[in-house]
Amino acid sequence: MSGLAVDGDLIVGDVPDQVAQANPEFERAAEKAESRRGLIMALPAYLYLLVFFALPLVIVFVYSFATRNRFGGTDLSGWNVEAYRKLGEPIVRDILFRSLWLAIITTVLCLLFAYPFSYFLATRSATTRNIMLVFVMIPFWSNFLVRNYAWRVLLGNDGPVSQITEAIGLGETRILFTPLAVVIGLVYGFLPFMILPLYASIERIDMRLLEASRDLYASGWQSFRRVLWPLSRPGVIAGSILVFVPSLGAYVTPEILGGAKTTLLGSYIVTQFLTARNWPVGASLSFVLMSVMLGATLVYFRNGGRTL
Amino acid sequence: MTASNAASDLSPAPSSDGSTPAVGIRGITKRFGDVVAVDAIDLSIHDGEFFALLGPSGCGKTTTLRMIAGLDFPTEGSLTIFGQEVGTLPPNKRPVNTVFQNYALFPHMNVLENVGFGLKMQKVNKTEIVRRSSEALELVQMGAMASRQPNQLSGGQQQRVALARALVNRPKVLLLDEPLGALDLKLRQEMQTELKSLQRELGITFVFVTHDQEEALTMSDRIGIMKDGNLLQVGSPEEIYEAPANRFVADFIGQTNLLEGTVESSDTVCLANGARLSVRSTEPVGSAVAVSLRPERALLHDRDDVPDGRSSLDGVVQTVTYLGNAVVYRIALDWMTLDVRAENRPSMKRYSVTDEISVSWLPQAVAVVAQ
């Protein structure tokens, strides 16, 4: 991404630069024209975001302060924070914490699986890398829903996983409809989102730095801890956010693999809007979820996310 | 000194005075799959010497250095550092440090942290780390830059930090992988002198990899010339320049004219055109050789005006290149061309293109090298 920006600068900066040295006014004018041209090109995207993203967001925000009436509708009069207060109730709080907890576990597991793999990938030849990256992408070729149903079959009480554990004498396993099934499904679904940024950031590290650290008396572990890990941190943070955020709000996977016992945030919000018809609560919960995500994103940009 | 004499230096450790070599390499081979990068070389590097491994790219010099550092492991053979067998020890267990080709400074640490890294890994206490790192930075005149980030430094400054980062650990052997390759000419020459005096001051053994023959000649006590994974010759710069072990070395070090011929007797070589040159050679009679005549060792004369005791060949001036401090003539012989370099002195007789002249030299000024 940064490469593109640099190229652009070169093309733009090429000719006016020489003129500008003689005439600073010309430079300012050229800059202005340039930024105006940029604005015009970005306008469609801005408009789209405004109409289909910002506006609905405002509506959700407004609704989160409204009141549910007796008929399942929403009264926009009488602003209050009742919906937010409801989030403190044990049932909602439990769902919130359970979702957080599962999202954290999913993120950590993804990181544990993805890091060695990404390192391996980044240290292969170009051909091997490309082939393996294609393998990472292949799951995206089929529908997310279908893949989740596939896990339902795999983890089911008569599914292959259970049959295998039974065959080797560990007995029947009952994974489906447990939090474990949700974690398995989430890790499976979001692993590529961890691998890709990690790979991108490790691939950019000069591997001679690792040799230099070994030469300077670092053990293999210290080499990782002091050189590889800090240098790959932008990838770790980007990957973690890309996994954590959708895991926190996940709806499809918990619905299909989690069963009725493990209600998570995504399902709860949907229930509030569609079944309970309590739009204010659904809206307020959406907003809380969004602010958590925003916080995570800010952390990312604070930690040198610019480099990605 | 003759070619075969110099080659005797190839004989393995122990070094000539019987002491333990700083680096002892015996029958080291390194294969990468089917490729033999280093082919059974023997080499002893003495304590306190400035040793250069010189050769074209892909000759195995860097692989050799990496094996000493422990970044690659030999497929066969034994490697000792001050008598200790280190063949399979990981790099962090060896008393050597490396200055890497592109310095490999840690971008996420400042200059002082970079230099202190090795000490930190060895669990030296913090005040000691700061003291010794600052000292090392002073040594390379980078004391004022301690809190800079590596990307704020110029190439030459990074080079100095890399040097300090290695030296602060007081290695028994310092390995340098083309350390001056990325610097511009003027800075490179400055660093050459500085490295040399630093090495003398510290008394540490320096092993230095380069493809730049001039750099090797200026800086080293001894040079090992490598080609295709083989060590062709080891000797002082003078030995290598004056008595190259073979045609490749003669051609690689400095400029030279190679006159092909056959050894006729112990003091005569018959050239391709039938001319006989009187030389001193230990190559076997009948073998194909080349007579190496350095451009600065030859003189030009008017035809038939060659002083007694000098060998000569007749030719015609083909081109004249004026270099300021010297003039280089390209002389066309019947079957080849020769370059002759004449220092630009006021008394020098200048020739011009198409002049018919004779090229002459003293018989002891040429070296006979095997093909």
User: Do B4-95+171-242 and B255-370 fold alike per CATH?
Assistant: no
pLDDT of residue A22: 55
In angstroms, the Cα distances linking B59 to A215, B37, B64, B209 are 23, 7, 10, 11
pLDDT of residue A174: 81
CB contact under 8 A, A213 and B169: no
User: Which residue of chain B is at minimal alpha-carbon distance from A221?
Assistant: B121
Cα distance between residue B132 and residue B124, in whole Å: 10
Q: Is A17 helix (H, G, I), strand (E, B) or coil?
A: helix
How close does chain A come to B247, measured CA to CA in Å? Answer: 36
Residue B111: which of B163, B51, B63 has the closest Cα? Answer: B163
Q: What is the dihedral of CA A114, A119, A122, A123, to 10 degrees?
A: -150
pLDDT of residue B157: 93
CB contact under 8 A, A230 and B69: no
Q: Please name the residues in contact with B115: beta carbons below 8 A apart, sequence gap of 6 or more.
A: B133, B136, B137, B161, B164, B165, B168
CB contact under 8 A, B117 and A226: yes
* Run of H or E residues at B64: helix B61-69
| pLDDT class of A4 with cuts at 50, 70, 90 | very low
Residues of B with CB under 8 A from a CB of A: 69-71, 90-92, 96-98, 100-102, 104, 106-108, 117-118, 121-122, 165-166, 169
In angstroms, the Cα distances linking B235 to B44, B176, B179, B371 are 11, 19, 22, 20
| pLDDT class of A25 with cuts at 50, 70, 90 | confident
CB contact under 8 A, B106 and A212: yes
In this prediction, the residues of chain B whose per-residue pLDDT falls under 70 are 1-18
How close does chain A come to B216, measured CA to CA in Å? Answer: 24
Q: Which long-range contacts (CB under 8 A, 24 or more apart) does B219-223 make?
A: B219/B50, B219/B52, B219/B192, B219/B195, B220/B50, B220/B51, B220/B52, B221/B49, B221/B50, B221/B51, B222/B45, B222/B46, B222/B49, B222/B50, B222/B51, B222/B52, B223/B51, B223/B52, B223/B53, B223/B54
CB contact under 8 A, B100 and A226: no
pLDDT of residue A304: 56
User: Which residue of chain B is at minimal alpha-carbon distance from A217?
Assistant: B92
How close does chain A come to B113, measured CA to CA in Å? Answer: 11
Cα distance between residue B212 and residue B176, in whole Å: 14
List, for residues A236-281, the tens digit of each pLDDT value.
988 998 999 899 989 989 988 987 777 888 888 998 888 888 889 8
Within 13 Å and on the Cβ side, how many CA atoms surround B224? 29
User: Left, alpha or beta for A72 (phi > 0: left; psi -120 to 50: alpha)?
Assistant: left
Q: How far is CA B101 from the centre of its chain?
A: 16
How close does chain A come to B106, measured CA to CA in Å? Answer: 7
User: Which residue of chain A is at minimal alpha-carbon distance from B122?
Assistant: A217
A265-274 and A90-122 helices, crossing angle to 10°: 130
Residue A212: its chain B contacts at CB < 8 A? Answer: 98, 100, 104, 106
Pairing of strands B50-54, B76-81: unpaired
The mean pLDDT of chain A is 85
pLDDT of residue A157: 81
The CATH superfamily holding the domain A84-305 is: MetI-like (1.10.3720.10)
Q: Please name the residues in contact with B34: beta carbons below 8 A apart, sequence gap of 6 or more.
A: none
Cα distance between residue B195 and residue A259, in whole Å: 71
Cis upstream peptide for B14 (omega within 30°): yes
Residue B8: which of B290, B227, B243, B258 has the closest Cα? Answer: B243
Cβ-count burial of A146 within 10 angstroms (0-12 exposed, 13-18 middle, 19+ buried)? exposed
pLDDT of residue A8: 36
pLDDT of residue A21: 52
Cβ-count burial of B45 within 10 angstroms (0-12 exposed, 13-18 middle, 19+ buried)? buried
B255-370: CATH topology is: OB fold (Dihydrolipoamide Acetyltransferase, E2P) (2.40.50)
Main-chain dihedrals φ then ψ at residue B77, nearest 5 degrees: 100, 175
Q: By the 8 A CB rule, do B112 and B137 touch?
A: yes
Residue B44: which of B66, B28, B60 has the closest Cα? Answer: B28
Q: What is the dihedral of CA A132, A133, A135, A136, to 10 degrees?
A: 130
Q: What is the CA radius of gyration of chain A?
A: 25
Residue A218: its chain B contacts at CB < 8 A? Answer: 92, 117, 121
CB contact under 8 A, A215 and B97: yes
Give the torsion sign (CA, B252, B254, B260, B261).
negative
Q: By the 8 A CB rule, do A233 and A64 touch?
A: no
CB contact under 8 A, B104 and A222: no
Cα distance between residue B140 and residue B122, in whole Å: 22
List, for residues A127-136, the tens digit of each pLDDT value.
999 999 999 9
* Run of H or E residues at B52: strand B50-54
Domains of chain A, by residue range, sit at 3-50, 84-305
A90-122 and A126-137 helices, crossing angle to 10°: 150
List, for residues A125-166, the tens digit of each pLDDT value.
999 999 999 999 888 888 888 999 999 888 888 888 888 888
Domains of chain B, by residue range, sit at 4-95+171-242, 255-370
- Under CATH, to which class is B4-95+171-242 assigned? alpha beta
A250-282 residues labelled b (16+ CB within 10 A) or e (exposed) = bebbbbbbbeeebbbbbbbbeebbeeeebbbbb
pLDDT of residue B64: 96
List, for residues B75-107, the tens digit of each pLDDT value.
999 999 999 999 889 999 999 999 999 899 999
How close does chain A come to B14, measured CA to CA in Å? Answer: 27
User: Which residue of chain A is at minimal alpha-carbon distance from B70?
Assistant: A215
Residues of A with CB under 8 A from a CB of B: 206, 208-209, 211-220, 222, 226-227, 230-231
List, for residues B245-264, the tens digit of each pLDDT value.
999 999 999 899 999 999 98
pTM of the predicted protein model: 0.80
In angstroms, the Cα distances linking A98 to A50, A158, A281 are 33, 28, 18
Q: How far apart are the first and last CA of chain A?
A: 8
User: Which residue of chain B is at minimal alpha-carbon distance from A206?
Assistant: B104
Please report where in the chains the tokens 């800075």 appear, as a residue.
Answer: B187
Q: Which long-range contacts (CB under 8 A, 24 or more apart) does A115-118 make?
A: A115/A198, A115/A232, A115/A236, A117/A195, A118/A195, A118/A198, A118/A199, A118/A202, A118/A235
Residue A209: its chain B contacts at CB < 8 A? Answer: 104, 106-107
3-state secondary structure string across B309-366 = CCEEEEEEEEEEEECCCEEEEEEECCCCEEEEEEECCCCCCCCCCCCEEEEEECHHHC
Give the torsion sign (CA, A243, A245, A248, A251).
negative
The listed range with the strongest mean pLDDT (A25-29, A69-73, B169-173, B306-310) is B169-173
Give the torsion sign (CA, B37, B43, B48, B54).
negative
Cβ-count burial of A104 within 10 angstroms (0-12 exposed, 13-18 middle, 19+ buried)? middle
Pairing of strands B299-302, B356-361: antiparallel
Q: By the 8 A CB rule, do B297 and B289 touch?
A: no
Residue B163: its chain A contacts at CB < 8 A? Answer: none
User: Left, alpha or beta for A218 (phi > 0: left; psi -120 to 50: alpha)?
Assistant: beta
pLDDT of residue B2: 38
* pLDDT of A103 strictly over 90: yes
User: Which residue of chain B is at minimal alpha-carbon distance from A205?
Assistant: B107
User: Which residue of chain B is at minimal alpha-carbon distance from A209?
Assistant: B104
Structure token pair of residue B106? 């840690």
Q: Please name the residues in contact with A127: beta carbons below 8 A apart, sequence gap of 6 or more.
A: none
Percentage above 90 pLDDT, chain A: 34
Size of interface A-B (CB pairs under 8 A): 59
Q: Please name the residues in contact with A90: beta carbons below 8 A apart, sequence gap of 6 or more.
A: none
Which of B91, B101, B108 minimises the CB distance to A215?
A: B91
Q: How far is CA B127 from the centre of its chain?
A: 40
